[in-house]
């Protein structure tokens, strides 16, 4: 009877042991959360933001570690930014200050408390403290591959065991360019979308892996929520819920403006009076000069910067640097330059016909301009040279 009672007591203790051991296992009194801030209205904030929060009850601290900070006072800020050499760094701020800033700018803040062991929490906390050191805090920012969100993803994957297997949170064949278009179009940033499409080359049209999709804060938040191999989130909460803003629409979109401009130039070129002819010639020089200068900018972004996505830019098929020279020969009788304008017109015609098939997605708002360039190039080729004065 005593043996039976002992066995029952032992089984009872074994039954209670798992829960008691789990509670006793974590004595760190540390909570680690991922903070995700919704997109803002300005271009720099249109894609949202991520940061990591650590509450340490032992030291009575509540801090946010933010990998999205940079020194705007740097005297070479714009040059470094253009060349892809701008250094970002991790900064530390009080959570109440962080929350106040994003709430004041009307941006929602979601918090996901991570399900971590004591060892994992301490490991992450130690890694962040090490990153705050002057010799470790700086990194070369890459919007797509190494940003304030991917840094947090890599931190979690490195210190969580087993490493989380994040699923696709966008359709599996989504490309980088398509992903950023969703945010730019929703935010009414169509002119910014055009500028970004001009400088970003073929690498931006690569199909993203599941991990690469997490360069966007919203995507990392969704991936952590639906992790394949572990329950990574222990608690979710909304720290600030901003008013939802409907999608913005612009009346003067690039497509509208460029179509109107192309039609005006086309109609002007049909007139044969002196003023119309003079204006048409001036417009031709302007078109070739601006596209030529743009071509030099694209070559610079391709060859002289550290940006990973500005290489192999197919926009150079129409924004050719040599146009900056040929703009001064739109009225010449030289067979050499006449031949160039014919070649350019044929090249643009082929480009227009293959617009939807080339590997790089070109912005459709450029079509009216490319059509206009093809038309004016052919007309320059066909036109007689201006008579010389005696």
Residues 277-302: tens digit of each pLDDT = 999 999 999 999 999 999 999 999 99
- pLDDT of residue 13 exceeding 50, the answer is no
Query: Does the pTM exceed 0.85?
Result: yes
Residues 230-255: tens digit of each pLDDT = 899 999 999 999 887 666 677 789 99
Q: Which pLDDT score is estimated for 19? A: 38
Query: Which runs of E-coded beta strand occur in 275-378?
Result: none
Categorise residue 9: left if φ over 0, alpha if ψ from -120 to 50, beta otherwise: alpha
The mean pLDDT of the chain is 90
Q: Which pLDDT score is estimated for 206? A: 97
Residues 178-231: tens digit of each pLDDT = 999 999 999 999 999 999 999 999 999 999 999 999 999 999 999 999 998 889
- pLDDT of residue 24 exceeding 70, the answer is no
Pairing mode, if any, of strands 138-140 and 49-56? unpaired
Residue 332's pLDDT band, with cuts at 50, 70 and 90, is confident
With CA atoms as reference, report the closest residue to 290 among 282, 278, 300, 301. 282
Query: How many secondary structure helices (H) and strands (E) does the chain include?
Result: 13, 7
Q: Which pLDDT score is estimated for 101? A: 94
Q: Which pLDDT score is estimated for 251? A: 75
- pLDDT of residue 18 exceeding 50, the answer is no
What six digits make up the tokens of 351? 């480009």
Q: Which pLDDT score is estimated for 20? A: 36
The residue extents of the domains of the chain are 25-170+208-240, 254-382
Residues 99-131: tens digit of each pLDDT = 999 999 999 999 999 999 999 999 999 999 999
**Distance between CA 327 and CA 331 in Å, rounded?**
9
Contact yes or no for 345/381 (Cβ under 8 A): yes
Residues 75-89: tens digit of each pLDDT = 787 788 888 888 999
- pLDDT of residue 56 exceeding 70, the answer is yes
Q: Which pLDDT score is estimated for 198? A: 97
CA distances from 72 to 86, 148, 301, 310 (A): 10, 17, 21, 23
**Distance between CA 149 and CA 171 in Å, rounded?**
20
- pLDDT of residue 53 exceeding 90, the answer is yes
| Residue 151 CA to its chain's centroid (Å) | 15
Residue 12's pLDDT band, with cuts at 50, 70 and 90, is very low
Other C-beta atoms lying within 10 Å of the C-beta of residue 29 = 13
């Amino acid at each position: 009877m005593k043996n039976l009672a002992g066995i029952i007591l032992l089984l009872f203790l074994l039954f209670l042991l798992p829960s008691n051991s789990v509670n006793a296992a974590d004595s760190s009194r540390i909570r680690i959360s991922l903070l995700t801030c919704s997109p803002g209205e300005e271009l720099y904030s249109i894609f949202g933001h991520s940061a990591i929060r650590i509450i340490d009850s032992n030291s009575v601290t509540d801090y946010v570690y933010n990998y999205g900070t940079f020194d705007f006072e740097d005297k070479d800020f714009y040059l470094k930014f253009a060349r892809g050499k701008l250094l970002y760094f991790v900064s530390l701020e009080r959570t109440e200050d962080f929350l106040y800033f994003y709430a004041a700018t009307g941006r929602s803040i979601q918090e996901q408390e991570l399900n971590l062991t004591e060892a994992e929490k301490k490991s992450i906390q130690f890694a962040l403290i090490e990153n705050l050191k002057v010799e470790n805090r700086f990194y070369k920012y890459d919007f797509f591959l190494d940003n304030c969100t991917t840094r947090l993803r890599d931190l979690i994957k490195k210190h969580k065991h087993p490493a989380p297997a994040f699923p696709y949170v966008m359709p599996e064949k989504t490309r980088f360019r398509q992903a950023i278009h969703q945010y730019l179009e929703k935010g009414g940033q169509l002119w910014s979308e055009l500028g970004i499409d001009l400088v970003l080359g073929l690498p931006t049209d690569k199909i993203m892996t599941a991990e690469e999709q997490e360069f966007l804060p919203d995507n990392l938040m969704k991936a952590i929520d639906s992790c394949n191999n572990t329950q990574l989130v222990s608690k979710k909460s909304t720290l600030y819920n901003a008013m939802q803003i409907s999608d913005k629409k612009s009346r003067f979109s690039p497509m509208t403006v460029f179509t109107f401009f192309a039609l005006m130039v086309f109609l002007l070129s049909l007139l044969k009076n002196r003023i119309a002819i003079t204006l048409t010639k001036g417009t031709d020089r302007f078109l070739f000069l601006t596209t030529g200068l743009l071509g030099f900018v694209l070559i610079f972004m391709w060859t002289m910067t550290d940006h990973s996505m500005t290489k192999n830019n197919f926009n150079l098929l129409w924004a050719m640097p040599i146009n900056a020279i040929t703009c001064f020969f739109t009225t010449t009788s030289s067979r050499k330059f006449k031949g160039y304008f014919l070649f350019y017109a044929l090249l643009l015609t082929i480009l227009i016909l293959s617009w939807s098939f080339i590997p790089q997605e070109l912005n459709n708002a450029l079509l009216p301009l490319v059509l206009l360039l093809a038309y004016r190039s052919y007309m320059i080729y066909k036109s007689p040279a201006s008579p010389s004065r005696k």
